[in-house]
Amino acid sequence: MFHHKGKLLIFLSSFLIVLYGVSAAFYARDDDAYKELSVFINALSRIRADYVEEPDMNNVQEGAMRGLLDALDPYCSFLSKEQYNALQKRKENGQAGVGLVLSKRSDVIYVVSCEHNGPAAAAGVRPGDYMIAIDGTEVEDKSILEADSLLRGSPGSKVKVSLFRNSKTKVFDVEISRAAQVANPVNSKMLDRNVGLLSVASLSDAAVDQAKVKLKTLISAGAEKIILDLRDCADGTASNGSDLANFFIRSGILYYSQNRQGERVRVVEASPEKHLTDLPMVVLIDSSTAGAAEIVAGALKDQKRATVVGEKSFGSGADQKTVQLKSGAVLILSTAKYYTPAGKVIQDETVRNAGILPDVESPDDETRQDLAVESYYEGRGESPRKVGSLPEKVPARVEKDDTDDTAKYKQFQDKIDKIQIEKALDILSKPNGAAKKAA
């Protein structure tokens, strides 16, 4: 018995030495890399030898891989063979969704945006909610890709989602009916003073085509200035974002992507053939403006083509690469980040530095606070007190989702929307104001 144990010990030791040597050679350019690998191997060895129970080393390995990817950014993930197969099967069973764009904050699935008039919004889900479970399955250790796939299914089927909201003390459930994506994510109308409003809620392929048609229609109807509304627009591809920006920009860089070495992997420039208008314009963004829409806002801002009004955008933008491992597991890695023409990275590890800052903040913190107080009293059927003096029972800072009632929340959001539209109209009304017109 001792002889067999000795042979096993020699084999394991030899294997680790060879693995360490190969790793050292592979990472010869970076001493820290294989030093960290040796720590990882040592930890696995101690777990195998000293853990109180016989460990399932497959689970340990998968947990370690998941932890490695989770430590990178919210959009990197590790899927075991079983998880990947389950995800593919869910795709085959149905693609109807609930109208949510997800990300992660503090390693928890986070609602970035809700589709206008979509199933989730109708059920009471709001941007800023944290997702705890889907149909009873906790999603704390799930990737964004997995959580999104769990929300999908056949049209008309229902899914129960457990959420946490900052204004509530307990997790609560909502039941959502899955539905196909909204057919018309782009809307337009003429406002006073010959201002055309183009509202883009999605940057899917169909949405870009719709935006092109509706923009041309506004121009034909006599629009002399444009408001491009990108609030709550959080899906779509980078190429769709650049296409929309190109409608307003005749030449120059729209965005570029850069890898870890600081090399520009892709530089996307405007094509004169896609350009549609030089009309002065304002762009509206908010904290739910993300991804492709941030490419649009960043390009229009940096190219001095438009004044950006509203709130700081969410901050997401990177190329992802899917790597299939021999075991059948899958790695999803961010390989390059998106930058605006002036060199501003859109997705930053520090939330404070991520996203696009508006040229004009609207509403400011004080106005938002006043609106929240008004909503508090109106919801109770009382007259609002003097603006600026908070009641004793209202928190010192009232956020937009502190009102639990859906109707009050919508009323509050409508007030903010109106303020932002009015600010855009005010900017466009000034002949020498901040509104830009292409040279």
Mean per-residue pLDDT over the chain, rounded: 83
pLDDT (tens digit per residue) in 21-64: 444 444 444 556 556 667 767 777 777 777 777 877 777 777 77
- Domain pair 79-177 / 186-319+336-363, same fold: no
129-138, 172-181, 386-395, range with the lowest pLDDT: 386-395
Contact call for residues 204 and 240 (beta carbons, < 8 A): yes
Contact call for residues 337 and 279 (beta carbons, < 8 A): no
Q: What pLDDT score does 116 carry?
A: 85
The DSSP output letter for 169 is S
Q: What pLDDT score does 35 carry?
A: 64
Q: Can you tell me the distance from the alpha carbon of 118 to that of 100, in angstroms, rounded to the nearest whole number?
A: 8
Query: 186-319+336-363 architecture in CATH?
Result: Alpha-Beta Complex (3.90)
Q: Which two tokens stand for residue 66?
A: 């998941």
**Phi-psi region at 279: left, alpha or beta (left = phi > 0; alpha = psi -120 to 50):** beta
Q: What pLDDT score does 364 carry?
A: 86
Burial class (CB in 10 A: 0-12, 13-18, 19+), 278: middle
pLDDT (tens digit per residue) in 149-163: 999 998 999 999 999
Whether 394 has a pLDDT exceeding 90, the answer reads no
Q: Can you tell me the distance from the alpha carbon of 372 to that of 18, in angstroms, rounded to the nearest whole number?
A: 64
Q: Residues 100-118, buried b or exposed e (16+ Cβ, 10 A)?
A: bbbbbeeeebbbbbbbbeb
3-class SS at 4? Answer: helix
**Phi-psi region at 193: left, alpha or beta (left = phi > 0; alpha = psi -120 to 50):** left
* Residue 182: Cβ within 10 Å count: 18
Identify the bridge partners of residue 96 per DSSP, sorted by sequence position: 153
Q: Can you tell me the distance from the alpha carbon of 127 to that of 425, in angstroms, rounded to the nearest whole number?
A: 26
Identify the bridge partners of residue 151 per DSSP, sorted by sequence position: none
Could you tell me the residue ranges of all domains in the chain? 2-55, 79-177, 186-319+336-363
Q: Which two tokens stand for residue 201?
A: 């809620």
Identify the bridge partners of residue 109 per DSSP, sorted by sequence position: 104
Q: Which two tokens stand for residue 124?
A: 């009471």
Q: Binning pLDDT at 50, 70 and 90, where does residue 65 land?
A: confident
What predicted TM-score, i.e. pTM, was given to this entire model? 0.82
CA 406 remoteness from chain centre: 23
The DSSP output letter for 345 is B
At the topology level, CATH places domain 79-177 in Pdz3 Domain (2.30.42)
